[in-house]
A = this chain, B = another copy of it.
Amino acid sequence: MAGAHTLRETERHVDERLAGMDIDFQAMAVTSNLFRAASAVRNHLERSVLAAHDLSWSAFVVLWVVWIWENIETREIAAEAGFSKATLTGVLNTLEKRGYSTRKRSKDDGRLVIVSMTAKGRKLMEQLFPLFNQQEQFVASALNSKAQPIVADGLRKITELTEPGQEN
Which positions in A face B, CB cutoff 8 Å?
A: 1-5, 10, 13-14, 17-18, 21-24, 26-31, 33-45, 47, 67-69, 73, 75-76, 79-82, 129-130, 133, 136-143, 147-164, 166
Contact = CB atoms under 8 A, between A and B. Distances in A.
Contacts of A133: 23-24, 27-28
Contacts of A73: 4
A123 to B, nearest CB: 14
B158 A41 contact: yes
B21 A129 contact: yes
B3 A79 contact: yes
Contacts of A148: 26-27, 30
